[in-house]
Structure formats: C-alpha cells, structure tokens
Structure 1
Amino acid sequence: MADHQQHIAVIGAGWAGCSAAVSLVRDGHRVSLFEAAPQAGGRARSVTVQQQTLDNGQHILLGAYHDTLQLIRSLGGDTAQLFLRLPLQMVYPPACDGMSLIAPKLPVPLHMAIGLLKASGLTLADKLALARFSSAAKWMGWRLHTDVSVNDLLVQFEQTERLVRLMWHPLCIAALNTPPERASANTFLAVLRDSLGAGRAASDMLIPRAPLGAILPELAIRYLQQQQMTVQTGMPVRALHRHGDHWSLSNAETTLPGEFDQVVIATDIRNCQRLLASVSDADTTSTLPDYQFEAITTVYLQYPATVRLDRAFYALPDHAASQHYGQFVFDRGWLDTQQAGLMAVVISAPSTLPETETLAALVAQQLATQTGIQALAQPLWHQVITEKRATWACTPGIRRPSQATGISGLWIAGDYTDAAYPATLESAVRSGKQLASLIRDSARQAR
C-alpha cells in the first residue's frame, strides 16, 4: 500500500497501459484509465469476420514471458486453458524441403542437445554449426560488445546457408518482426538467452486459444472496475496541461474531468510523441527516437471443418520470387473446436505484397503446394488483415527512451521504452510493471 495515495491518469489501455494501471492500483494508488478505441487491447485487438472472433494478427508467446504469464494468473486467468503450450520447435511440412527440430521435455541443456541429435532435414555440418552457435553465445553472455545486424552475427558464427534459411531467419522474423539484414543482433540474442539459454519451459511456445483481448485486457479492466477505478473507453486524450503540481487532460472538444498528481502515457509511439509535444512549457519533442515501423499481415483462410493440418502450426519456406509469401501457418482448429478448418498464415515484415484478393489466392496455393493437401487451394472465404505499424523496426544500436520524461509527474510506458526485448507483448507488460516501480521509487526519494 502506498504511503501517500495519488491520483494517476493512465492514457492507453493496451498491454502496457493495463499492466501499469493494475500495478499502480496494487501499490495503493487511485487510477483513471483512458482509451481512445471502443475496446481495450491496443494493437493486439480482435475483429469479427464471418461470425468468427479473430485477432488482428496471429500471435505466439514464449514460456520466457514470465511477467505476462504472472500478470494473467494474478488476475484470475488460467494460462493452461488460455494457451496451447508446445515445446520449442521448427517444423516444416513434409512435402517441402525443410527441417524438423523439436526440443523434448528434458532438463537444460539436454532438451536442445537431444532435439538437435534427432532433428531431420539438417546435415551434420548444420547441426555442428547450431551447437557451435549456442555454446559461443552462452560463453559471451548472449551479448556483443558492439551491436550488429543478425545477418552479420550469423556470418560471424559461421552458420550454414541451410540453417540460416530454415531456422535463424524465420526465428528472427518471428521474434523481432525485422528482416535479419537490419535486425539487432543483441536484441535477438536477448530473446535466445531467455528461451534457448534458460530453463526448458522458458523455450516453450504458447499459442493463444482465446482472442488476446480476453487473455489480458478484459481481465485487467474487470479488476480495475472491481477496485472502483475509473475506466473510460472511446475517450481520446489530445493534450496534457500542467497546473503547478497537478495535471489535467483534454480532447478535441473539452477538458476531461479530474485532476491528476501524475500522468502515464501508454499509447503507441505516434500518439505518445503528440502528447509529449502538447506540454507547452517544455521541449520534449526529442524524447523519442525517429522510429521506423514494420508491418504484419495475417491471411485467414476458412475451409470445411474436415480440412486440417497434422500439427498446430508449421513453418513455411517463403520466397517472394516464387510468389510464396507465407512464413508460418496455424491451424486454428487445434486451438478452438469452433474454428475447425480455419488457417492463419503469417507474413511478418513484408516488403511488398500483391493486392488482397491476389495475395489470398497465392497463399492458398502455397499451402496446397507445400503441405501436399490440395484442398487448401480452394478456401470457402478469406480475410486479409494488415497492421502497417505493427511494430517498430528493431535495428542495431537503437536507443530506446527512458520511462522518465524529465518532467516531474510525467511518464511513458510501452514496448518501445528502454528494455532488452523487442516489440512484444512481454516487453509491453514489463514496461508497465517497471513504470509502477519507478513511481514507487520516486515517491520514496521525495520523502
């Protein structure tokens, strides 16, 4: 319980904002949460298509996402029911020239050693290169003195062409949503450290069974309301106003009710920059770096319920010149029986893609060709969802901002703030939790 309860405004009900709001309430503060959209969740939101509730993109989490999983459990969520937990794996369909590596449920480091020994589709040279990479990365503490691109890292560690193409490039794209030629090696190594280099369960892959909104944001909102906190959706905040030691908020029409001791901006980068710039008595426009952004496209394809894959998901060989754009395919029927026959094909960090109708047809044909299941060439319906600014580009040496803005009582939270992880749900949750800790420390120092 806080020694001195404060009224804190949290702007943005994405995963960072929800994490911050819950943590602040648990510290004894009074919180008012404002969200511009009709529903909480931020960029990880749900849409309704053909009477199906779908995420705006297929996600996958890691067992290493300790803060996310802990927060969900603390709010009453049953992670065993909310996620399908699978061992770390990189498996391609049998009909294509791929690989199959599955880490068995054995203690570290046996799980990777045995998994590598039993892996198919890799030569002895490939397996030795992977073992050499893991050993050297662990020896150097999973970090380079000078950050470089993931491609440069793989060259430095003498990884084979086949291993790079079938394992490292897909893992980099999935983890950082940034092409390996311009992705940060140190951030990639940080993800590998907490998965491959940690306890066996940390490397597990968790696929959401339920829409992401039901996994955290809805639980967080319910908790806040139970604690008698103010939660307002459909309420954009356009500007911040400081009045001595207090703050007020306004939108395009009027000043919002309430006076606040502190303000937390937990919006996306663009809105965060706009709100910082609205503080008229300080130059905060240089607080955030000039982020570049990467898109994620998810192609949903519905087939008859009898059409299914023999695994929950496969990696796919992507090759734009062959018009093969899909990188992973998820069979939603493994996650929810009500979605039998529904496939979600993920295209991360695409450069250029055909128009929607053509893309859906090409992806369906890619599935049929690479899985050998000809029925996949003819979906009943399709939906293509593209998030153009899904993540910020995780490039070498990028300097992420501190959560303290330098203005008393004004903070920021989001997956783009200073942390070791890329733009992930875990990074957002950690940011919200860390923000609450910083406010707690700040209050102690002020006494």
Structure 2
Amino acid sequence: MKKRLAIVGGGWAGVAAALRGLEAGAEVHLFEMAGQLGGRARSLSVSQADEPRLDNGQHIMIGAYTHSLALMRSLGLKPEDLLLRRPLQLRYPDRAGLHLPPGAALPAFVRAVLALRHWRWRDRLALLAASSLWALRGFRCAPDISVAQLCAGLPPPVMQELIAPLCVAALNTPAEAASASVFLRVLHDALFSGPGSADLLLPRRPLSELLAEPAQRQLLAAGATLHLNHTVRQLDRKGQGWSVDGEHFDAVLLACSSRSAADLARAHAPAWAERCAALQFQPIITVYLRSPGSRLAAPMLALGEGPEAPAQFVFDLGQLGHAPELFAFVVSGAAPWVERGLPATAEACIAQASDQLHWASPPTLLRALAEKRATFACTPGLQRPASSIAERLAAAGDYIAGPYPATLEGAVRSGEEALALLRPVLTA
C-alpha cells in the first residue's frame, strides 16, 4: 500500500516536493490556500481576453539554477524556449556596465572589469584585488558582517554601479543590511561554477507557465490530489504519522509560509517554530507602465536608484515576448516605499522613467503591485530554521536553512531536500 504524504503549500518548494514524492511512490495530497499553484512566483488572473497576463513580480533566474532547470525539463518543458538566455550584463540607459564575455569564468571576469572604461584604473584594480582576496578565502567570510562591511574599501562607483545592484537583486536586502557570507556564495556559484553559470535567464512567458501550470497537469495525471483554496488549520500527531485537518498521513511536509509553518508546528516543535516566527521580511514592488511605440535598448536595464528614484531595474516585456509596449519597473528592498504607499511609488517610478529613459510616448501606469513578504531579510548572522522538524515532519521553502537567499532555486532545492528526508518513510 502506498504511503500517504501531505504537502502544505503549493509554491515552487511544494511543487518540487510533490513531484519528487510521486517519484518515490507516495500517494501525494497537496494543500494550497490559493486557487492556483505557484506561491509568490505566479501569474495573476485576467478578467478580459485582451488584458495582458501580468506576474505578481518580475523574477529572473541564472544559469547556476541547475535544480530549477532540471525540474522544468522533467515536466517536458524546454527552458531554452521559455527563458531568454543572456550573458550577465548590468547595462544602464546611458552607459555599459559589467558584461561578462564567453569563456572560462576567471579570465572572463577580469576582462569584463578591465573593459569598464568609464571607471578609473584605480576603481577597476580595486575590484579585481577585492575579488581575488574573496577567491583566495574560498568566498567565505565571517557570518556576522554585512555586504557593506565586506566591501568597505571599494570606491563609490564600484559600490553604486555593481555591488549594490547585484546585492539587492540577489538578496532583496540593501548592502548595508545584507549578509556578506550569503552574497559571496551567490557570487561564487554565479561567476565561478562553470561556463554560463552567471547567464541571466529572463522569462519569455508568464511565470505560471514556467512551472506551476505544467506541474499541476502532471500531478493530476499521475494521481495526486490537489486541495486548492484549502487553508490547513490543524496539524496533530496521530500514531506514527500525522493528522492534517483530521485526515491521516504517514508523513507531512510544510511548504507554506514561515508564519503558517510556525503556527502549525508550534505545539510539536516550539524551538523550531520560534526560529521560524523570528524571521523578518523584505517587500518587492513592481510597477507596470505602458508606452505605445517605445522600446528599450535591451530587454533588461539597470537604473540609477535614489531618494526619489525607487526602481533598480526595468524590463521591456515586449522584447521578452510578453505584451508589447509594456514595461516592468522593479523596486527591491522596498520597505521605505511600501510605507509611502503604492500611488506614491508609481508616481516616482513614472518620474524616474521619464528622467532616465527615452520614450516614444509618455509612460502611463497600468498597475502597481506590492509583495510585502516577498523574501526573508537576508541579514548577517541569521539563523534560519532547519528542514527537519520532527519525526516524519519536514519543512521546505526559500526561507529554510541553505546556501542561497530567497530565490526560486533555493525553494526548489529545499523542496527536493525535504522530500529526501521523508523518502525512507515513503518507501518503507
């Protein structure tokens, strides 16, 4: 008889765990509080046929996200068709930024830094010296220092045009408050994990088509039971297994938000729940603008951020195969702007767009969205909860302890690793 597995949460971690659970021969039941899978990486519903399908935020991947890409391929998807692959380039509207050429990682990085002609020689050499020191130390540092402290000796252009945007893009936490050890791990895996590991993978299709919707079809076809619009309220110990809202399971995997996981696990693992509940979060705001007849110089551009210029990046969605003449401005580490409100943020983005970019027609607001708990705040010395909670009870999610910040890859890896913890139970 198949062992019964309950997975609470249908984001990328829960989906990855569910697919691996089926491979282990389990009877999989997936509980999701929303009406669709995908979690915080999903597409929004549309009310009219001609309305563009927007995402709840602009996600990107990199070539080093091997588990995510493999999971997509296991669903019969072709990442090369769904994702626009480009060498890492931080291009600004008025100047070229860092652009990694093809080839071996170390020589490519050196050539890319030396090619930054608008930097002084001392700026370029300072970055090369610092990165060489990080490499000699194995891209490791004390766990309690920030990115700003790690880079304290670097010149302002290096911090403003490279370190700060890379940090907020990868960790969704400003350099002054971001963990240097996690930042170095991301740099290592992106820049020095082999050819193409730093490539940017920009979605050509709505986010839900990259994983959630194909996964839902495969889960249903394989006999999994999906409980959509179902918020799990009660988790109880029952014999050797667990009871989820009164229904017995041999094992349970919590792939829901950290807050929900803490509430469900508190009676069974109070120390784990306390660590979970202690996590702080950073928001992301996405502002969608229209501009008929306009096209950016590249599908993705870095922007100059400032007190009245909130966005760090802009995406030309028309160039990515989405709705034409539609542009997504992304505000990471957006806590100050959440306090100011979405109308003020949208107005500031329009002003920033008008000031920093060239338009065929004045940009106008289509929609502004805030994901207030987009990622955990990846701060120095942060102790994240472990995947193992109790016997036959595990957790998955981008906030679970691991080498990566809150990324799609971190979520997928966490889901697969949590399922591996439960596999002996499911295959016994």
Does the pair score TM above 0.5?
A: yes
What's the secondary structure of 1:53's corresponding residue? Answer: coil
Q: Does 1:327 align with 2:312?
A: yes
Q: Does 1:79 align with 2:74?
A: no
Matches of 1:5 and 1:433, distance apart in 2: 19
- Equivalent position of 1:137 in the other structure: 134
1:191 and 1:421 in contact (8 A); partners too = yes
1:417 alignment partner AA:
I
Aligned alpha-carbon RMSD (Å):
1.9
- Larger mean CA deviation between 54-63 and 113-122 belongs to 113-122
1:151 and 1:181 in contact (8 A); partners too = yes
2:303 alignment partner AA:
L
Q: Does 1:109 align with 2:106?
A: yes
**1:368-394 superposed Cα distances (whole Å, 9 cap, x missing partner):** 2212x1446x22442110111111100
- Equivalent position of 1:92 in the other structure: 92
- Equivalent position of 2:24 in the other structure: 27
- Equivalent position of 1:153 in the other structure: 150
- Equivalent position of 2:383 in the other structure: 399
- Equivalent position of 2:6 in the other structure: 9
- Equivalent position of 1:247 in the other structure: 242
How far did residue 175 of structure 1 move? 0.3
Matches of 2:75 and 2:150, distance apart in 1: 40
Match of 1:370 among 343, 346, 356: 356
2:169 alignment partner AA:
A
Matches of 1:441 and 1:229, distance apart in 2: 20
Percent identity for Structure 1 against Structure 2? 39
2:26 and 2:426 in contact (8 A); partners too = no
TM-score, structure 2 as length reference: 0.94
2:342 and 2:369 in contact (8 A); partners too = no
**1:134-166 superposed Cα distances (whole Å, 9 cap, x missing partner):** 2111111111144310000001xx211110011
Matches of 1:90 and 1:277, distance apart in 2: 44
What's the secondary structure of 2:145's corresponding residue? Answer: coil
**1:83-129 superposed Cα distances (whole Å, 9 cap, x missing partner):** 111101111111xxx55221112222222222222223222112112
Matches of 1:303 and 1:117, distance apart in 2: 36
Q: Does 1:307 align with 2:299?
A: no
TM-score, structure 1 as length reference: 0.90
Task: Spell out the pairing of 1:358-437 with structure 2 (5 A cutoff).
Answer: 358-371=344-357, 373-375=358-360, 378-405=362-389, 407-437=390-420
- Equivalent position of 2:52 in the other structure: 52
- Equivalent position of 2:40 in the other structure: 43
Matches of 1:153 and 1:227, distance apart in 2: 49
Task: Spell out the pairing of 1:166-181 with structure 2 (5 A cutoff).
Answer: 166-181=161-176
Q: Does 1:193 align with 2:188?
A: yes
What's the secondary structure of 2:176's corresponding residue? Answer: helix
Matches of 2:102 and 2:382, distance apart in 1: 36
How far did residue 277 of structure 1 move? 2.4
**1:400-429 superposed Cα distances (whole Å, 9 cap, x missing partner):** 111111x22111111111101001111000
Matches of 2:119 and 2:384, distance apart in 1: 38
What's the secondary structure of 2:388's corresponding residue? Answer: coil
1:91 alignment partner AA:
R
Task: Spell out the pairing of 1:121-132 with structure 2 (5 A cutoff).
Answer: 121-132=118-129
